Structure 1
Amino acid sequence: MKLTFLLCCIASTTAEPETLDSDTTSTATKNSKPAAKVQRSADPSKPEPYSPSRAADLYSTYADDDDQGVIGPEELEKLFGDAGISLEGSLPLLLAWLFGSTEMAKVTKAEWEKGTAGLRISSLPALSAALTDLENLLVHDKPPLKPAQTTPSSKKNTSSSDPYDRSQYFRLAHDPKKAFLEFYLFVYTLSKPPQSRNIEIETACALWSVILAPRYPMVDDIISFINEKGTYKAVTKDLWSMMLEFCQTVSPNLDDYDPEAAWPTLLDDYVSTKKSKVDGAPSNANAI
């Protein structure tokens, strides 16, 4: 899922930005800033030391020309491109969570300063490493990294060979399930349009496909059911939360699904449809 696609799913009052690949001449004129100096270490074992001034310079490189207080959607897409970070998965959402962003696809100067200082990040490779580590831990459910050797006087589980300060990573790795829940609930709040109590079903499916499906493959089947049904319009916070609980507690074959439990109608419909196909009987699923 690309960041630009997700932005199209979420209601916005701002004008639609120009596409980055429309006309190279007009794009070059609009983006009058000098090309970003991508900091890539030839030897990953020798990461660039953190520098607040370097972090500030990096921010200035990507800040919106019309509003220096924010890195907007187009600038964030360019930053990700320069850093070699994919926009087609959960990494943009993890960046927002790490930096405490309050708007989708935007990072304010204050959020950047706090986020980079906490992680001691002042280069694109370090940012890429931090996001990739977190994606592997939370989204792909991979075993956590092992803390580096520390001296008795050290107060942090980090090493001079680390590309960034991994102290926060190891705190999250202590209880990945709790960390993932916090991230998952954050994504709902981040994605919900202002003045709305729900998010649109298209947005929810796009998000589920990148943050739930890698951990719980049956989510892809649920999304296919939703698309085939075509009658579900919105996702409440309760449905959002219960979708995760469903994935964590119900087996893919649905044998342990309790129809008497207080599951949302969408999930009842999904199970009913799946079981009716197995039994060869017509489904009685009703749309919400």
Structure 2
Amino acid sequence: MDPQTEEKIAQFCAVTGASQRDAKRYLEKHNKRVDLAIDAFYNEPVHPRQTTGAPSTSKLNLLFDNYKDPDGDEITVDGTIKMCQDLKVDPEDVVLLSVAYELKSPRLGEWTRKGWVDGWKSIGCDGIPTMQTSLLRLRDRLGSDAAYFQQVYNYAFEFSRPPGQRSLVMDMAQGFWGLLIPHGLQGGALSHIATLPGRDNGEDVRMGAQEEGWNDELTQWWFEYLTEKGIKGVSKDVWQMFLEFVRTVDSKFEKYDLEGQCSSRIMPLAKQGPHHMVVALAAWPSTIDDFVEYARARFSSGQ
């Protein structure tokens, strides 16, 4: 057996408590996708390990007490690190932004008792094993669901902004972009969306191979542009519109209209699913306009 398969079997067993035999069976059935195999394991209707009833409030409170600050009733940075160790997740893993959204974390690395209990109950967890399973689901959803990605993306700005400040400091903004944008591109949540010429009725048009969109190299160009310009903070307007820009701009910025007063952009309607879009007209922030000029200059110079 190859080392990669052994690692997946060990991960499956650690999360589910299943035997290696069951682990092999579920992994083979689901193309060796650990997340899908674990999901199938817990959703099997007659599985003896299936949790019965609603998640326990008392169990969640006890778990919260295990992590909370001894001098208060909030989980702070030290408790968050301990939680990550128990969940076997890196504190800088993108999935923790989903957890922050679900548990309504008030600030980066902090959790309230109410948000903790209500959030995990809503997800369907009351212990470390089921929480570990849920992280796999949340990570997959964050990468593949456009509407959910946008909800988490917008929340990241709100909960990480310093108290009393209207903007997000640049280091923090780049850190979140560096986590979220590649994850959305890889999973499909940031699949390129564009309108065909003459189409303005808001229909969802996925150009696929016909038109390339944003990529990881452009993310790096964006970071280099921000650094060169010495921009210190990101406003809420720039943060939110940058996501729409990434979803809709073509990879060479050939269709971007710098002269126009307004730009036609497509946004997902969360209540109707990630593939339902509506066109909105609004001016792009000057920061994005300036970046397009910067990128076009780099294309022209062959950099």
TM over 0.5, yes or no? Answer: yes
Partner of 1:29: none
2: CA distance, partners of 1:115 / 1:278 = 46
How far did residue 89 of structure 1 move? 2.6
Partner of 2:183: 214
Gaps of 5+ in 2: 1-13, 19-37, 42-48, 186-215, 264-282
**C-alpha spacing 1:118/1:280, structure 2 compared with 1 (3 Å):** closer
Instruction: Report the AA paired with residue 230 of structure 2.
Output: T
2: CA distance, partners of 1:189 / 1:274 = 29
Cα RMSD for the two superposed structures = 2.3
Higher relative contact order (CA 8 A, sep 6+): 1
1: CA distance, partners of 2:115 / 2:249 = 38
1: CA distance, partners of 2:74 / 2:248 = 40
CA contact (8 A) 2:149 2:184 kept: no
Residue aligned with 1:269, SS = helix
Kindly indicate whether residue 110 of structure 2 is the aligned counterpart of residue 89 of structure 1. Answer: no
1: CA distance, partners of 2:117 / 2:140 = 25
Instruction: Report the AA paired with residue 58 of structure 2.
Output: S
1: CA distance, partners of 2:90 / 2:166 = 30
1: CA distance, partners of 2:229 / 2:290 = 13
Alignment of 1:107-122 (within 5 A): 107-122=111-126
Kindly indicate whether residue 11 of structure 2 is the aligned counterpart of residue 42 of structure 1. Answer: no
2: CA distance, partners of 1:84 / 1:254 = 41
**C-alpha spacing 1:118/1:184, structure 2 compared with 1 (3 Å):** same
Partner of 2:295: 274
Gaps of 5+ in 1: 1-38, 142-175, 283-288
Kindly indicate whether residue 102 of structure 2 is the aligned counterpart of residue 98 of structure 1. Answer: yes
Partner of 2:173: 204
Residue aligned with 2:183, SS = coil
2: CA distance, partners of 1:115 / 1:215 = 23
CA contact (8 A) 1:54 1:122 kept: yes
2: CA distance, partners of 1:115 / 1:135 = 16
2: CA distance, partners of 1:48 / 1:83 = 19
2: CA distance, partners of 1:271 / 1:133 = 36
CA contact (8 A) 2:141 2:148 kept: no
Normalising by structure 2, report the TM-score.
0.62
How far did residue 48 of structure 1 move? 5.5
Partner of 1:76: 80
Kindly indicate whether residue 137 of structure 2 is the aligned counterpart of residue 137 of structure 1. Answer: no
Instruction: Report the AA paired with residue 156 of structure 2.
Output: V
Residue aligned with 1:255, SS = coil
2: CA distance, partners of 1:53 / 1:76 = 20
CA contact (8 A) 2:105 2:115 kept: yes
**C-alpha spacing 1:198/1:63, structure 2 compared with 1 (3 Å):** same
CA contact (8 A) 2:95 2:135 kept: yes
Partner of 1:3: none
List per-residue Cα deviations over 1:106-158 (Å, max 9, x = no partner): 111111111122223111121122232122122x22xxxxxxxxxxxxxxxxx
How far did residue 225 of structure 1 move? 2.7
How far did residue 240 of structure 1 move? 0.5
How far did residue 99 of structure 1 move? 0.8
Residue aligned with 1:213, SS = helix
2: CA distance, partners of 1:86 / 1:281 = 38
Q: Is the helix fraction higher in 1 or 2?
A: 2
